[in-house]
Structure 1
């Protein structure tokens, strides 16, 4: 028994000598390895390398950024393709984002709820997509960069129901590709966008914008 115990200790010691990280991880691993418990350390660098190597699509990256930064969906009243105030406000926000990337194309997909025939709903969804595209054009976006080419009708609901459902009556704007098959977007125009965002981020908050502590409840 004692001999077996000694052998086990010797084996563990030998393994530790062969792998110094097992005993001294903070000394032998790269800087930040211990703090990077979730694998986020260096994510920007990894993303850039993936883009340069072609492992990550520019279109996918921009599509994710668009979805993260802008509300991509507008909703409609029942059996209507009319844009209400909320829809127009969302489309103005989309137009501001789209204007920053003149080399990028977008598609607008129209959807309906399940009330009505499939053929009618397909036409209605396309009318909604065209209404959204027309409004984006009115906000200064080149029509050649916008496509209302697909209407899913009632086939892709957000909420699965046969009843009227506002969340299903919608259009969704998505990045679809690049004008003239741009190999990448790291050109002068994109650099100007980054520079503008950088300058805007450095503007100090006005003193008067700091809210005072309210004395009364409400």
Structure 2
């Protein structure tokens, strides 16, 4: 009797599993990076329209603004004239796309303690945020985060690497 019961349970389980088998769709979607239209026809491919980025996207932001990165002097979070020019182009783009939200990341070079660099990175991110807000961007659209020295852009212990790592980066939130 136990063998019959076990065989019955196994049969029911096999039937249930067979009923859940996934059937192949009649038309497969294109693999990542493949186009659904012939080259040069101007159709949509991979989130882009033609040769340009989708308007309001992170790629459009990077292509449209002077830079997504503002650099700072040693132990500083002051917005210099070059940073103002960069942030002005970001403010223009953000004004054009009022529903887009961004995060400004504050970064430092490897010198200093972890705590000091987290605080300095926070001041750098907020300095860039405050400039954008002063240019008319709603503060609710901008979040800030400090990574301190934890995410260097350039690896090295020389002034060239340090200068690249002292930055605030504006990232479009998808």
User: Per-residue displacement from partner, 1:23-77 (whole Å, max 9, x unpaired)?
Assistant: xxxxxxxxxxxxxxxx8523x41338x68xxxxxx79x70011011211110000
Aligned residue number for residue 116 of structure 1: 112
Q: 1: CA distance between counterparts of 2:100 and 2:122?
A: 22
From 59, 67, 81, the counterpart of 1:64: 59
2:123 is matched with which residue? 127
Bigger fraction of residues in helix: 1
Q: Distance in 2 between matches of 1:107 and 1:94?
A: 12
| Local SS of the residue matching 2:45 | helix
1:158 aligns with 2:153: yes
Residue number in structure 1 paired with 2:173:
176
2:93 pairs with 1:97: yes
Q: Tell me, in whole angstroms, the C-alpha distance in 1 between the residues paired with 2:96 and 2:115.
A: 37
Structure 2 gaps, min length 5: 1-37, 49-53
Residue 173 of structure 1: SS of its match in structure 2? strand
**Structure 1 regions of 5+ residues with no counterpart?**
1-38, 52-57, 178-218
Whether 1:141 and 2:137 are equivalent positions in the alignment is yes
TM-aligned CA deviation for residue 104 of structure 1: 0.9
Separation in structure 2 between the aligned mates of residue 117 and residue 40 of structure 1, nearest angstrom: 53
Selected match of 2:84 from 88, 91, 108: 88
Cα RMSD, aligned residues only: 2.2
Equivalent residues, number: 129
CA–CA distance in structure 2, aligned partners of residues 155 and 40 of structure 1? 42
| Residues 1:116 and 1:62: Cα distance change in structure 2 (over 3 Å) | same
Q: Secondary structure at the match of 2:43?
A: helix
Q: TM-score, normalised by structure 1?
A: 0.55
Q: Which runs of 4+ in 1 moved over 4 A?
A: none
Please report the TM-score for the alignment, with normalisation by the length of structure 2.
Answer: 0.68
Is residue 40 of structure 2 the alignment partner of residue 41 of structure 1?
Answer: yes
In the alignment, the residues of structure 1 paired with residue 93 and residue 121 of structure 2 have an alpha-carbon distance, to the nearest angstrom, of: 24
